[in-house]
Chains A and B, each alone.
Chain A
């Protein structure tokens, strides 16, 4: 737009100023007719995902958090359940309880005075003298694992039930969908609390002496609660996908060429619903993490002494006025995880929806 008053831009004028248009250069014309390099759908999606800064940063954050949650406990000198003031054969040393960040207990102080070095307690210790940093890391690990596996369970049940319902249709579909409606209409937090408190009793007894006991009855019951309650939206989603895809004329066209059902599933149904499924699973993970934190916070989460971000926050309530950071740190980590997973999920959706593709 030129600044010449004659050509001043008038938003209400419909007249097009010819001077504003410059003929396309040969290079630009070339670009328009250019053959797009043959890419697969997947590579195309990844390319678009990488161009989305927010999603990319979220992804990096998730990776960093996940890797630290997995690897830091492997070499950290303290463990999440070790009470530093308790040494076998000696009286309990209360100086280790409630240490401030980067403070040391009595025996550690002595080592430092003698010229030795002690690994610092970055976030201090909790009221039982356990290194708080490693507890946060471990809690993150638990929260992530719960979120991931719970979503996996939801995904598996959802895929099985949803595709059966969508494929078979008829009465089977009718019955399944009514069940889904009923579960859907239950107040879910109430159900979660009821189920979790009932299940931890029964399962706790049943698991006694098995390998699963180590994981803890509460986590198992959490998975069951997720499995029972949250498969419904996934099942609905997948059923809807299958129903609408089955009616697509390209499926009919494939049949018309004589394609077998397996071919149709592999070339038409899966590629067309996989991204929706992956995306909603990705968005399910923060949901599960959030619910787990909530349950731990109200005391229905993981078994002590195992920490989760929710139970850490809950424990911190006791000393909230003296040690507010003990609440703030796990709360921040939860927020960071949930936020970045959500943003990454949104980015995935944008990237793998071909209709938004430019």
Chain B
């Protein structure tokens, strides 16, 4: 990707987000959507984040941007802890988000011009109408939208175009960091590639740092420098994109990789598909110890007793599994 230096731009330390949900008529219980997750993203880097539906990816992204108040842990941006309203205000102009659903993420009562200009208006970044217009047209140009469409409403566009509008809006404040929450999941496969390439180009052009969320590995493969794998609110593996593909260490990642269709038939035959038994448990009833143990082929009693820590096993390859060494010898 782009040349980057090795200072973290964004850092999450022991991030936790619990939702109070209703169980029964008058009882609530904490739903641990994100349960003690730590990671850092270097300037100019793309961190891919994958995991099944409901494992907490969106929640990580939203909590990182302080859209949800974290239940615990801290977020450090560019060496500064995001805490006070002042730091948050500054953070809002540095970090932005592209949303999962291109349909509900654009207000149907606003024209494309107003949607893209909203961050500019909120932060009063443009002094004159003309300046605002110029900036919006420039943003539309960045994302490959025809400037003639500025006065239309969002529902007149296709999914791919809508996602481009969302991206233009995210770029409006000239952010350094962008959380892209499954920006292509709702799009046709043929359009996915276009949009991903666009993210790539924008990164080169504007020096962006991404947290790129997706639910399958294939999507994040090209764009990510490192990939984090989430399972039931925990991060189970974090390594460079190549490592994740060639040498997955966690049993869950192995099963994900085995499900990725390989172009090379030789390799595909050698790579036996690992089919997981059972469903992902509800985060309300997460298993004790290792969250993956109910579906893990290697689970032992020790796995039920304690939660495995995310440990560096070889030069930046982090895995959370008690039996990493035995499984991968």
Alpha-carbon gap, A254 to B123, bound state (A) = 11
Give chain A residues whose Cβ lies under 8 Å from the Cβ of B46.
Answer: none
Alpha-carbon gap, A127 to B106, bound state (A) = 64
Nearest first, the 7 closest Cβ-Cβ pairs linking A and B are A258-B92, A249-B105, A38-B151, A257-B119, A271-B109, A250-B107, A249-B99
Distance from A255 Cβ to chain B, minimum over Cβ atoms (Å): 6
0/1 interface trace, chain B 129-161, chain A, CB 8 Å (1 if under)? 000000000000000000010011101000000
Known: A33-B148, A37-B151, A250-B104. A256 touches B97 (CB 8 A): yes
Alpha-carbon gap, A252 to B170, bound state (A) = 12
- Residue A48 is within 8 A (CB to CB) of chain B in the complex: no
Docked-complex contact A272 and B108, CB < 8 angstroms:
yes
Q: Name the residue of chain B whose CB is nearest to the CB of A256.
A: B97
Q: Residue among A35, A38, A249 with the most chain B CB within 10 A?
A: A249
Distance from A62 Cβ to chain B, minimum over Cβ atoms (Å): 27
- Residue A41 is within 8 A (CB to CB) of chain B in the complex: yes
Q: Name the residue of chain A whose CB is nearest to the CB of B62.
A: A252
6 A-B pairs besides A255-B67, A258-B119, A357-B153 with CB distance below 8 A are A33-B148, A38-B111, A248-B104, A252-B105, A257-B119, A257-B122
Q: Which of A33-73 contact B (CB under 8 A)?
A: 33, 35-39, 41
29 inter-chain pairs at a CB distance below 8 angstroms, sorted by A residue, are A35-B151, A37-B151, A38-B151, A39-B151, A249-B99, A249-B100, A250-B106, A250-B107, A250-B115, A252-B67, A253-B105, A253-B166, A254-B118, A255-B67, A256-B92, A256-B96, A257-B92, A257-B123, A257-B169, A258-B88, A258-B89, A258-B119, A258-B122, A259-B118, A267-B118, A354-B109, A355-B108, A355-B155, A357-B153
0/1 interface trace, chain A 82-121, chain B, CB 8 Å (1 if under)? 0000000000000000000000000000000000000000
0/1 interface trace, chain B 228-242, chain A, CB 8 Å (1 if under)? 000000000000000
- Residue A263 is within 8 A (CB to CB) of chain B in the complex: yes
- Residue B2 is within 8 A (CB to CB) of chain A in the complex: no
Alpha-carbon gap, A256 to B179, bound state (A) = 11
Give chain B residues whose Cβ lies under 8 Å from the Cβ of A39.
Answer: 151
Alpha-carbon gap, A256 to B166, bound state (A) = 12
Distance from B67 Cβ to chain A, minimum over Cβ atoms (Å): 6
Residues of B in contact with A (beta carbons under 8 Å apart) = 26, 62, 65, 67, 88-89, 92-93, 96-97, 99-101, 104-111, 113, 115, 118-119, 122-123, 148, 151-153, 155, 166, 169, 172-173
Docked-complex contact B122 and A249, CB < 8 angstroms:
no
Docked-complex contact A272 and B122, CB < 8 angstroms:
no
Give chain A residues whose Cβ lies under 8 Å from the Cβ of B123.
Answer: 257-258
Distance from B281 Cβ to chain A, minimum over Cβ atoms (Å): 25
Q: Which of A237-282 contact B (CB under 8 A)?
A: 248-250, 252-259, 263, 267-268, 271-272
Docked-complex contact A263 and B122, CB < 8 angstroms:
yes
Give chain B residues whose Cβ lies under 8 Å from the Cβ of A354.
Answer: 108-109, 153, 155
Distance from B151 Cβ to chain A, minimum over Cβ atoms (Å): 4
Alpha-carbon gap, A271 to B166, bound state (A) = 20
Alpha-carbon gap, A128 to B66, bound state (A) = 75
Distance from A46 Cβ to chain B, minimum over Cβ atoms (Å): 15
Alpha-carbon gap, A69 to B111, bound state (A) = 41
Known: A35-B148, A354-B109, A354-B153. A253 touches B122 (CB 8 A): no
Distance from A351 Cβ to chain B, minimum over Cβ atoms (Å): 14
Alpha-carbon gap, A256 to B62, bound state (A) = 9
Alpha-carbon gap, A261 to B104, bound state (A) = 19
Docked-complex contact B67 and A256, CB < 8 angstroms:
yes
Give chain B residues whose Cβ lies under 8 Å from the Cβ of A263.
Answer: 122
Cβ-defined partner of A258 (8 Å) among B62, B93, B104, B153: B93
Give chain A residues whose Cβ lies under 8 Å from the Cβ of B110.
Answer: 267, 271
Q: Name the residue of chain B whose CB is nearest to the CB of A38.
A: B151
Docked-complex contact B105 and A36, CB < 8 angstroms:
no
Q: Name the residue of chain B whose CB is nearest to the CB of A260.
A: B122
Give chain B residues whose Cβ lies under 8 Å from the Cβ of A36.
Answer: 151-152
Alpha-carbon gap, A354 to B67, bound state (A) = 29
Distance from A31 Cβ to chain B, minimum over Cβ atoms (Å): 13
Q: Name the residue of chain B whose CB is nearest to the CB of A248.
A: B104
Distance from A264 Cβ to chain B, minimum over Cβ atoms (Å): 10
Give chain A residues whose Cβ lies under 8 Å from the Cβ of B89.
Answer: 258
Distance from B267 Cβ to chain A, minimum over Cβ atoms (Å): 39
Docked-complex contact A253 and B99, CB < 8 angstroms:
yes
Alpha-carbon gap, A35 to B135, bound state (A) = 19
0/1 interface trace, chain A 179-204, chain B, CB 8 Å (1 if under)? 00000000000000000000000000
Alpha-carbon gap, A35 to B153, bound state (A) = 12
Known: A257-B123, A257-B173. A249 touches B101 (CB 8 A): yes
Alpha-carbon gap, A302 to B93, bound state (A) = 61
Distance from A115 Cβ to chain B, minimum over Cβ atoms (Å): 67
Give chain A residues whose Cβ lies under 8 Å from the Cβ of B62.
Answer: 252
Give chain A residues whose Cβ lies under 8 Å from the Cβ of B148.
Answer: 33, 35
Cβ-defined partner of A252 (8 Å) among B99, B118, B122, B151: B99
Give chain B residues whose Cβ lies under 8 Å from the Cβ of A37.
Answer: 151
Give chain B residues whose Cβ lies under 8 Å from the Cβ of A41.
Answer: 109
Distance from B224 Cβ to chain A, minimum over Cβ atoms (Å): 22
Alpha-carbon gap, A248 to B153, bound state (A) = 17
Alpha-carbon gap, A93 to B100, bound state (A) = 82
Alpha-carbon gap, A248 to B109, bound state (A) = 13
Alpha-carbon gap, A89 to B106, bound state (A) = 77
Give chain A residues whose Cβ lies under 8 Å from the Cβ of B93.
Answer: 258
Distance from B125 Cβ to chain A, minimum over Cβ atoms (Å): 11
Q: Name the residue of chain B whose CB is nearest to the CB of A263.
A: B122
Docked-complex contact B104 and A257, CB < 8 angstroms:
no
Known: A256-B92, A257-B119. A250 touches B155 (CB 8 A): no
Give chain B residues whose Cβ lies under 8 Å from the Cβ of A38.
Answer: 111, 113, 151
Give chain A residues whose Cβ lies under 8 Å from the Cβ of B151.
Answer: 35-39
Known: A38-B111, A256-B96, A258-B122. A250 touches B105 (CB 8 A): yes
Give chain A residues whose Cβ lies under 8 Å from the Cβ of B105.
Answer: 248-250, 252-253
Distance from A131 Cβ to chain B, minimum over Cβ atoms (Å): 50
Distance from B275 Cβ to chain A, minimum over Cβ atoms (Å): 34
0/1 interface trace, chain A 345-358, chain B, CB 8 Å (1 if under)? 00000000011010
